[in-house]
Structure 1
Amino acid sequence: MRTLYFDCFSGISGDMVIGALIDAGADPFQMQEELKKLNIEEEYTLSWGSVVKNGITSTKFDVMLTRKPEQPYDHDHTNSHLHDHNHDHDHNHGHDHEHNHDHNHNHVHHHHGSRTYKQIVEAIKEAAFNDSVSNMSLAIFKKIGEAEGHIHGLPLEKVHFHEVGAVDSIIDIIGAAILINQLGIESIQSSAIPTGSGSIHIDHGIYPVPAPATLEILKGVPIAANDIRSELATPTGAAIAAVLAETFGPLPAMTVESIGYGAGTKTFKNHPNVLRIIIGEIQ
């Protein structure tokens, strides 16, 4: 059985998942074409390329937003902490301001600066991806929506995705599903998920790591101990692993066929900030 294993020794985020899948041999150009079915390609451009993280050559994937806001966000309808592109979140000193500015003011605006869960579901269904891609994408969004609704005391249909509704996270989730389907993966397993520690700045103030949404998403998933004072698992990355992995544990016995390293944005002193995926056959 063709199996994919997420080796999350430095956490997991949506952009790291896509970088690792491309690095393992998936075709990003085919993904780019498939994503056009969403009819939002004027809102973003994609880039990917090699970077070296603490001695490991890996692939960095980025979504750059091309539209400027039409109006400021209505913060009554925003959600706590659903920005992704982990590892962008090094919230100290000047980088903090620069990052927050980009994330809070450069996203596409729908209904007071957010997209609803319902709108995202409709967009995925209207895009008419194949069943595998649609089902994976819908399940991941539902996992995040339920977690966010639980934290904010809202039913799923009332949840607004200020950040996961933003283009980068839509691309990360659906792009990951497209590449996994493209690679012919039949089963997915994962290591335990390190979340990191410390605190992060989000819309509602200073929150502990893991953020409430991330922790809610990881209910039932083994969390790995880690003393890095940084956010390692983002809500999007946590949801991809929580939804798609059938089991969590050490690397299973397999014949390894391909390996991919997906880079995060942050660089840590003592270990490479990458997600490793291992693809192979389990007898």
Structure 2
Amino acid sequence: MRTLYFDCFSGISGDMVIGALIDAGADPVQMEEELKKLNMDEEYNLSWGKVVKNGITSTKFDVILTSKSDQTHEHSHSHEHEHSHGHSHSHGHEQSLGHEHNHSHVPHSHHGSRTYKQIVEAINEANFNESVANMSLAIFKKIGEAEGHIHGLPLEKVHFHEVGAVDSIIDIIGAAILIDQLGIESVQSSAIPTGSGHIHIDHGIYPVPAPATLEILKGVPIASNDIRSELATPTGAAIAAVLAGNFGSLPPMTVESIGYGAGTKTFENHPNVLRVIIGETQ
């Protein structure tokens, strides 16, 4: 069985998942084409390229919002750490070897934050194949239910300030497209380290893991570590929680490909990357 294993020794976020899958050999150009079915492509540019994180060559993936996208997308979602668009955190550990894939876009009317219902409609109308649609819908539902639970709202009333931002929509559906493209039949994951400390979000200063992330990780083994930073974002946590059928150490497998997806931050003592391992399991 063709199995994908998420090795989350430095946490997991949506952009790290896509970076790792591209690094493992998935085709980002095909993903970019598929994502156009959402009719949102004038709101963003995608960029991917090689960076070196503490000695490990990895792929950094970014969603760069265009001036055509409503500025509220950029500032209203809580978890700003998922993407620091274009801000370098190199501290001498990281050198960018990448190039951007930018396209000119036509202007279009602005959107506010998107509701869960709008996101579901957009996925259903986009005509993705069944596997991509089902994965995407399940991940959004997981995040929507967590946000709804915390804010005391039914699912259909949840406004996705946090994940309705264009970048998280791209991360989730992009990850589903690449996993489908790679012919993955089962997903497993390590325990998820969440990090510690505090983050600043819309509602003030919150503990790490953020409430939505912790809610999403109910039933998932959490790994402890002493890094004072947000290692698992809601998007990353939901991708792992929904897709992984099993959490634990690397299963017995014949390894075919390995990918490293770079996070934005750089840590002193270990590479801030997500490793994916793809191979045949019994």
Question: Aligned partners of 2:84 and 2:220: how far apart in 1?
Answer: 21
- Are 2:72 and 2:113, in contact at CA under 8 Å, matched by a contact in 1? no
Q: 1:198 to 1:24 in 2, by over 3 A?
A: same
- The structural deviation recorded for 1:83 is 4.6
- Are 2:5 and 2:250, in contact at CA under 8 Å, matched by a contact in 1? yes
- The structural deviation recorded for 1:67 is 2.5
1:191-206 aligned at under 5 Å gives the runs 191-206=190-205
CA offsets per residue over residues 72-94 of structure 1, 9 Å max, x none? 68x9xx67x35562688x9xxxx
Task: Tell me the amino acid that sits aligned with residue 152 of structure 1.
Answer: H
Corresponding pairs, count: 260
Question: Aligned partners of 2:60 and 2:19: how far apart in 1?
Answer: 5
Question: Aligned partners of 1:72 and 1:278: how far apart in 2?
Answer: 36
Question: Aligned partners of 1:220 and 1:229: how far apart in 2?
Answer: 23
SS at match of 2:259: strand
CA offsets per residue over residues 33-66 of structure 1, 9 Å max, x none? 0000000100000000000000000000000000
In the other structure, the counterpart of 1:85 is 82
TM-score for the superposition, normalised by structure 1: 0.88
- Are 1:87 and 1:232, in contact at CA under 8 Å, matched by a contact in 2? no
SS at match of 1:246: strand
SS at match of 1:121: helix
- The structural deviation recorded for 1:163 is 2.8
In the other structure, the counterpart of 2:138 is 139
TM-score for the superposition, normalised by structure 2: 0.88
Q: Does residue 22 of structure 2 align to residue 12 of structure 1?
A: no
Q: Does residue 39 of structure 2 align to residue 42 of structure 1?
A: no
In the other structure, the counterpart of 1:32 is 32
1:1-283 aligned at under 5 Å gives the runs 1-67=1-67, 81-83=78-80, 85=82, 110=111, 113-283=112-282
Question: Aligned partners of 2:16 and 2:84: how far apart in 1?
Answer: 9
Task: Tell me the amino acid that sits aligned with residue 275 of structure 1.
Answer: L
CA offsets per residue over residues 102-153 of structure 1, 9 Å max, x none? xxxxxx953xx31000000000000010000000000000000000000000
In the other structure, the counterpart of 2:98 is none
Task: Tell me the amino acid that sits aligned with residue 177 of structure 1.
Answer: A
- Are 2:5 and 2:278, in contact at CA under 8 Å, matched by a contact in 1? yes
Gaps of 5+ in 1: 91-107
Task: Tell me the amino acid that sits aligned with residue 54 of structure 2.
Answer: N
SS at match of 1:59: strand
Task: Tell me the amino acid that sits aligned with residue 278 of structure 2.
Answer: I
SS at match of 2:82: coil
Q: 1:44 to 1:37 in 2, by over 3 A?
A: same
- Measured on the aligned residues, the alpha-carbon RMSD in Å equals 2.0
Task: Tell me the amino acid that sits aligned with residue 146 of structure 2.
Answer: A
- Are 1:86 and 1:232, in contact at CA under 8 Å, matched by a contact in 2? no
Question: Aligned partners of 1:203 and 1:215: how far apart in 2?
Answer: 17
- Are 1:140 and 1:243, in contact at CA under 8 Å, matched by a contact in 2? yes
Task: Tell me the amino acid that sits aligned with residue 17 of structure 1.
Answer: V
- The structural deviation recorded for 1:166 is 1.1
- Are 2:42 and 2:69, in contact at CA under 8 Å, matched by a contact in 1? no
